[in-house]
Amino acid sequence: MKLQSKSSDRYPKFVAVGDRVAGKIVSFADDVPGRFGPETLLTIRSSEAGEQIVRCSTTLGQTLRENVGELTVGRGITIELADLKEIGKSSPLKLFDVELDDVVAGDADDSDADETSAGIDVASPSGAVAASEIPF
C-alpha cells in the first residue's frame, strides 16, 4: 500500500495579500506552547472549510488580544491579509484586516449556531490554556 501526504487547510497560511479565512469562532488561546515558543491560536469553523486553526502572527495576535472581549464563541470572523510591509528582514511584516459579524451565536437569525453563547477565556501568562471549546 502506498501512502501519500495530503495538503491540509486545517492550518491556513496567509501568503499573498487578499488571502483570507472566515468562519465562526470556536476558541481563542494565547501563550500556547509551540515548536518555536508561545503561540496565539484562533480556532474557527465554517461549513465550507470545516474547523481551522489560525496560528496568529505577532500583529494579528496583538489585534485579537486587544479585542478579546469581542471574541465570543459563535461570532462570525473574517481575517484577511491586507498588506506585506518590507522591514529589512527575511520575511515581511504581515498586516491584517479583521472583521467581526454583528450577529452572535444564539441570535434568532443565526441558523448555524447552537443556542449557547459564551465568552472565551484567554490562557494565562504561565502557558496554561483556559480557552473554551464549545462545539456547535
Q: pLDDT tens-digit profile of 69-118? A: 999 999 999 999 999 999 999 999 999 999 999 854 455 444 444 433 33
Model pTM?
A: 0.70
| Matching residue, cell 506552547 | 33
Tens of pLDDT along 14-33?
Answer: 999 999 999 999 999 999 99
Q: Burial, 4: exposed, middle or buried (Cβ in 10 Å; 0-12, 13-18, 19+)?
A: exposed
The residues, any chain, with a CB within 8 Å of residue 40's CB and separated by 6 or more, are 28, 29, 30, 31, 32, 55, 56, 60, 61, 64, 65
Please tell me the predicted confidence (pLDDT) of residue 5. 60
The least confident of 4-8, 19-23, 43-47, 55-59 is 4-8
Domains detected in the chain = 20-100 (2.40.50)
